[in-house]
Amino acid sequence: MLYKKQILYCCWWVFLLFACGNLKAQITDSTATIYPAINENLFVNTKWKYTYTTHAESNTIIHKADETYDYFIFFRYDYGYQTYLNGNLSDGLWRLNKEENEIQYNFRKVDWWRLAFFSEEALILEFTMNEKSSYRYHFVRVTDAEAPFERSPNDLPDVNVDFGVDAVVVETESYTNYLEQRGIKYNPKAWQRRKERRQRQEIRRTARLQKTKKGRAQLAKEEPKEMMQIELVGGGFYGGVDPVYRNMILIKTDGRVIKEYQSELQGLQVSKHNIPRETLEELVTFIEEKQFFEFDQIYSCKTPSCIKRLENKPRPIALRIAITKGVRRKIITIPIWDGRGKVNSFIDYPKELDAIVQAIENIATEQPQ
């Protein structure tokens, strides 16, 4: 009799363990369904504005942003974040736990948040209090102009790609900035008259050249060529004996090469020179052959040692490479870049990027003949 009871007791525990295992699997599957996977490439470098908070179980709004509560957050490409709350700026580090659909970012004394929803327009962060009630913080996507964050010295230059015709470069130093630097008040009507006058002059010049064979040949040479632009920004570390504040190489479609380097001790150094169009085309072809446009947008930390290095000082400056050819534009980000190559890197990225960076730097440092 005792033997039969022991058998029944063991069978009961086996049944309970099996049932719990199934329940856990169901919860995991349910969680995966409720919280879909997050694409880190789309999440990086986004800016959000807080709108309201809801109680998840009842879907009741318990707080709304108003004139007295203005909150923004910026998840930067270098895994740093910036927040703005009623005029006060703060910062820290963020990272994703893709397996659990969580993000680590300190807000309202909560370190880990569940990514309940994410799209190009909306973001919902959720946390559970005392394993009972869950609360959801709702955010909407905002543009650079709508967000109260200043531009970083290591941000990429502004490039506007018009996919209807071709890529058109928007110069970093706009006309209004040009006037401000010279103490001239901006007059929209005067600027419009200036643009119209230039257009009339160009129409007359074109008509004059069309009358002769030599002029028509000159116009043929002036036909717009395919847009090409190369940008290499960042890399290195904040801090050290001579902290670097800016490190940028810009190669424009007309062959103009601009290299800017600014550190605490050396100050701002700017060098400019021109390269032939053929040289630029060869460089872009070389980059294409290295499969640059097929690479991922961001190569993030995958190991504990890499994450630890991100958090330690001196803090790394992310490297960003942007290549524009025609209507194609690709930006690649590597959060830690010390210039020693993939073999010594914390991050696993395509080895071809070493050759691409080296080729760009060679063009930028090459002395004009």
Q: Is the pLDDT of residue 8 over 60?
A: no
Enclosing domain of residue 264: 228-365
For residue 107, what are the CA distances in angstroms to 32, 51, 79, 113? 24, 15, 16, 9
- Residue 180 falls inside a structural domain: no
> Which distant-in-sequence residues (6+ apart) come within 8 Å of 312 by Cβ?
none
- What is the spatial distance between Cα 234 and Cα 317, in angstroms, rounded to a whole number? 6
Dump pLDDT digits (tens) for 143-188: 888 888 876 655 655 444 333 333 333 333 445 565 666 666 667 7
Dump pLDDT digits (tens) for 185-199: 667 777 778 778 888
Last residue of a domain, one of 100, 122, 141: 141
| CATH number reported for the structural domain that contains residue 86 in this entry | 2.40.128.270
Q: Count CA within 13 A, CB hemisphere, residue 111.
A: 1
Q: Is the dihedral of CA 237, 72, 126, 39 positive or negative?
A: negative
pLDDT at 284: 94
Nearest to 98 by CA among 301, 270, 352, 348: 301
DSSP state string for 326-340? TTEEEEEEES---SS
Q: Are residues 126 and 239 in the same domain?
A: no
Q: Are residues 235 and 112 in the same domain?
A: no
Q: Is the pLDDT of residue 28 over 50?
A: no
Q: Is the pLDDT of residue 332 over 80?
A: yes
Dump pLDDT digits (tens) for 240-274: 777 777 888 999 988 999 999 888 888 888 899 99
Nearest to 157 by CA among 331, 337, 361: 331
- Residue 162 falls inside a structural domain: no
Q: Hunting for tokens 């009507």 — which residue is that?
A: 189
Q: Is the pLDDT of residue 37 over 80?
A: no
73 pLDDT band, cuts 50/70/90, is very high
Last residue of a domain, one of 95, 113, 141: 141
Dump pLDDT digits (tens) for 335-355: 888 878 888 888 889 999 999
**Mean pLDDT for the stretch of residues 81-88:** 90
Q: Are residues 233 and 361 in the same domain?
A: yes
* Under 8 Å between Cβ of 76 and 57: no
Q: Is the pLDDT of residue 66 over 50?
A: yes
Nearest to 157 by CA among 252, 296, 271, 55: 252
Q: Are residues 126 and 243 in the same domain?
A: no
Tokens describing residue 134? 């869950």
3-state secondary structure of 344: helix
pLDDT at 359: 94
